[in-house]
Amino acid sequence: MSVLPTNYLTPTGREEAWRFTPLKRIAGLHDPATNVADRISIALSGAIRPGFSIDKVKATDLPAKSSTDDAVVQRVRAVVSEVTHLQIAKEALVSEPIILTRSTGNQSEFSRTVITAGAHSKATVIVENSGNATLGEEIEIRLEAGSNLTFITLQEWSENSVHLGRHHAIVGRDATFNSITVTVGGSLVRLLPTVEYSDQGGSAELLGLYFATDGQHLEHRVHVEHGIPNAKSRVTYKGVLAGDQARTVWIGDVFIRGNAEGTDTYELNKNLLLTDGARADSVPNLEIETGEIVGAGHASTTGRFDDEQLFYLMSRGIPMADARRLVIRGFFTEIINKIGIEEIEDRLMSRIDTQLERVGA
């Protein structure tokens, strides 16, 4: 078992990275004084098929390739003794999605997962998170040359769940990483969807959708590190908030280092506030150290419901509640439709509808 780095400092909430997070509500996941079990509750749904394998490996045999300064992820690395390793074989084309489900029960848990997409492989991996959880996790996704991986995580937790984690992709030469992060459940969810490139020609698309109702804190801290020339990234996160004390945080850090010539990046965050008493923080942050790039931009909007849209729909006979639902579904459609699995799309939409009804928005 590894140990915490000697410079490990328990977050106090005053640090830039933690200033938005209510530490009281994260069940001590950040605090070395709290015991958290080293468990694996993630499992393959359905049978193993040709083109991939899933194994449990000693953590020391599969150390993380990337560095992190996140306190919870550092604890996860120190505690976890066994890692789940999903490997997509070189040149494999896995047509049906590989679905991993997690049910942690009521125990708190630290876990590490590594996904390796072999060279020139193509696959979709879906991580379904539901039920009760107190979870600290790291998923490291390694894309070898020319691989194409769609990585979808669904946070459909119960209302008391706490989930802190980092989903880090290392994008290899000419590899394509498409990710969709959906967070609709949980009391407190704080995710770090992060990307770095290990070689030129890589491309990453990070899509996200979050929907927070009363009392939920949903935080997404995106970081794309352009430290290699000629790589591309697109980030689009959309959120809807409804109900008292509904809280979301979106951070979009994109760094273009001095040697990352030919970088092409754009990031967008849009938030829709349906009721008073909800709060969305949106902090896009673009740092550029070279002028020799293809393009770099960011945009962020946070707004109220558009009364003109509502009027237009209602003037065609559509009742207010249906009109609102139509607009909210429309707002999320661009992200949800990319999942491409009707059963999941319908399930997410009906969950959103139910929660909207519950808060009367």
Partner 1 sequence: MSQLVIKNLQVGVETESGMTEILRGVDLTINSGEVHAIMGPNGSGKSTLAYSIAGHPKYTITGGSVTLDGADVLEMSVDERAKAGLFLAMQYPVEVPGVSVANFLRTAATALRGEAPKVRTWVGEVKEAMGKLAMDPAFSERNVNEGFSGGEKKRHEILQMELLKPKIAILDETDSGLDVDALRIVSEGVNRVKADQNLGIMLITHYTRILRYIKPDFVHVFAGGKIVEEGGPELAERLEEKGYAQYVKA
Binding site for partner 1 (CB under 8 A): 306-309, 311-320, 322-323, 326-327, 329-334
Q: How far apart are CA 356 and CA 81, in angstroms?
A: 41
Residue placing its CB nearer to partner 1 in the complex, 77 or 324: 324
Residue placing its CB nearer to partner 1 in the complex, 158 or 333: 333
Least distance in angstroms from the C-beta of 235 to partner 1: 18
Beta bridge partners of 56: 84
Task: Give me the DSSP letters along 311-351.
Answer: HHHHTTT--HHHHHHHHHHHHHHHHHTTT--HHHHHHHHHH
Residue placing its CB nearer to partner 1 in the complex, 288 or 349: 349
Q: How far apart are CA 312 and CA 306, in angstroms?
A: 10
59's tokens: 């953590």
Q: How far apart are CA 324 and CA 263, in angstroms?
A: 39
Least distance in angstroms from the C-beta of 11 to partner 1: 38
Count the Cβ atoms, other than its own, within 10 Å of residue 241.
27
Residue placing its CB nearer to partner 1 in the complex, 283 or 320: 320
Give me the amino acid identity at 198. Answer: S
23's tokens: 């530490």
110's tokens: 């630290």
Least Cα distance to 179 among 151, 202, 204, 153 occurs for 151
CA angle 248, 236, 64 (to 5 degrees): 80
Specify the DSSP element, H or E, that contains 355. helix 342-359
Least distance in angstroms from the C-beta of 307 to partner 1: 6
Residue placing its CB nearer to partner 1 in the complex, 259 or 301: 301
Least distance in angstroms from the C-beta of 160 to partner 1: 31
Residue placing its CB nearer to partner 1 in the complex, 77 or 270: 270
Least distance in angstroms from the C-beta of 316 to partner 1: 4
Count the Cβ atoms, other than its own, within 10 Å of residue 34.
13
Residue placing its CB nearer to partner 1 in the complex, 4 or 326: 326
Least distance in angstroms from the C-beta of 212 to partner 1: 19
Residue placing its CB nearer to partner 1 in the complex, 55 or 334: 334
Least distance in angstroms from the C-beta of 318 to partner 1: 5
Secondary-structure percent of the chain, ordered helix, strand, coil, rounded to 5:
15, 45, 40
Least distance in angstroms from the C-beta of 313 to partner 1: 7
